[in-house]
Each structure stands twice: as C-alpha cells, then as structure tokens.
Amino acid sequence: MLANSGRWQNDRVAGRVICGRFVIVTLFSKVGMFDRFGVLIQYLLPKQRLTELAGSVARAKKGRMTSSFIRWFARKYGVDMNEAESADLESYKTFNDFFGRPLRAGARPLAEADFVSPVDGAISQIGAIDDHHILQAKGHRFTTTDLLGGDAALSAQFRHGSFANLYLSPKDYHRLHMPCTGRLTRMVYVPGSLFSVNPATARGVRNLFARNERVVCVFDSGEHGAFVMVLVGATIVGSMETVWHGIVNPKRTGEVSAWDYASQPIVLEKGQEMGRFLLGSTVILLFQQNSIVFNESWKPERSVRLGEMMGNSPDPVAAGYTSA
C-alpha cells in the first residue's frame, strides 16, 4: 500500500504559491472570493497544532469553562437535545462526551430497506463511480485508489460501483452506524492533511478527501458484496474511534497502520454503531457494481437522518451475490 503522508508536510509551501494565485484570480473575479480566501487561510494555518489543542480542550474534565463552552456550542449550532439520551447539558463531563452523545431509544428507527443511512448529516455527492473516479465537487474528482491509501487491488473491487459522501455538520449526531450488516475484514489508518471538509473547502481543495487523514474500514456483507466506510478527518477532529478498536489515531505519527480482521468473527448488524468522530467530519461509502440502487430522493445537499432508506439491492441473482 502506498502512503501519501508526505503531502500534508508541504501544505504551508503550497499555501504561499496559492496566495499569489488567489490575489491574481480575485482581481478578475468576485465569484467565490470568500471561498478562496477561506481555503487560502487553511493552507497557512498550523492545522495539526490547532487540532491537538482542540483535542485537549475537548477531553478536559468538567469545569466552569467546559460547561460554558457546551452551552454556547449547543445554542450556537442549534443542537436538538430532545433527541439525546440525556437532554441535560450539565450531565456531560467533557465536551467529547457531549459531542458524541448517544441518542435516546427509538429516536432513529430503521427503515425497511436493504441499506440505511449510517449517519445524520447531508449529502455532499452521490452516484456512480466513473471507472475509478469519484466526484468531489463541480470540477474536482479523485480516484478510489488515492482515497484508499494507494491500495489498487482494493480499489479495483469498486470499479464502476457506487459511492456516497456524507458530511456531518457541528449540530449533527456524530456516531456512525452500519448501512447494512457486514463482517469486518480490514482497517487501515492513512495519515494526511487536516483541511476542513465543509462544502466550500471541497470546492477549493483538489483531492480533499484523498489527501486528508482517514480511516478505511473494509467489510464483507455476503449478500451485497464488499463495501467500504472511509472516516475522513478534518481540522480540529481530535481523533476517530471504532467500536472494535477504540481510538485509531491517538498520536499522529505520519505512518500508515493496518489491521487484518479476516480471521476474527467481527460482525456488525445493520444500524449498529460502528464508530464515532471526536469532533465532526465526513464518511464516504463505496459499494461494488450492481450492489445498490440509491433512494431516488437522495441528491447533493439533501439532509439525511440515521436509519432512513439509503437504497435497496437489485435482484441478487443479477448482481451475482449469494448469501454468506
């Protein structure tokens, strides 16, 4: 597997080059000026240091400052605490506890569908994988091989398949669940940059999701074939966590790490929790060819909720799969 860990070390150099381009472009166009400025700032900021600082603050035990910050955050972003297992903001000992709060029982019933939304969030992009390319934003595409850390063999399994990029905003529920039942076969941590993953940055940074830090989780559903869930890190995302491993990236060493679970019976049911972001980001799902027909109402920028219908499988005989 090829690592792209060297890219993030050159961000500040690239920022100086882009700064010059920004000035020239802005002189001739007012369209997207604020988007470009926001992207430029991200090249220049010490993103890893800011992320480490944010992680320290988020882990700090309850005190007056922590309580005040939680109240401010909930008010600022309109967090609906009525859906949480505990609606009392004072019950959370750390900001991480609040941010990764569990939902109350029954808050997200599962639709009667083969595939359900694994998160609360919004659709960034969705559709067919063009050979091995995924649409990031208008004018920007990236390859599944780059997304998967350079693993061409794994990428080949999803040629002409389907993908969904789901963005979690600050107000959203930040635990991740299974879109369908799957047996875990492998997990790979790929180091990278820590750009924001908001829509404006997706429009301005090429290969954003394939250059940011990410955790690649590979599953075999049996009935629907192999699928991948990629947890993409971002600025101030303290870390990413899975239910079978715990925190995947407690220290950012800049090295690829891989875990093989092929011989272990780790099976997660549809709708079951599989992980969480400690501060928010994006999850990208990859499905094999002929494995899913997406819900017709799923379009870019549409909000989605955990458990709602994401899609159904076509005729399993036509798809070429048999039950495990």
- CA-based nearest residue to 242, from 253, 257, 224, 255: 257
Place of tokens 């002929």: 290
**How much helix, strand and coil, in percent to the nearest 5, is found in the chain?**
30, 25, 45
Catalytic residue among 97, 120, 151, 172: 120
| Active-site choice (155, 281, 291, 313) | 281
Contact 187, 18 (CB under 8 A): no
- Mark out the alpha helices in the chain (DSSP H runs): 11-28, 33-44, 47-59, 64-77, 95-99, 144-147, 152-156, 199-204, 208-211, 316-319
Q: Is 120 a catalytic residue?
A: yes
Q: How confident is the model at residue 197 (pLDDT cuts 50, 70, 90)?
A: low
Give the model confidence (pLDDT) of 143-192 as tens digits.
999 899 999 999 999 999 999 999 998 889 999 999 999 999 999 999 87
Annotated active-site residue 177? The verdict is yes
Does pTM surpass 0.75? yes
**Predicted pLDDT at 223:** 87
Active-site residue, selected from the candidate residues 11, 177, 221, 291: 177
pLDDT at 61: 72
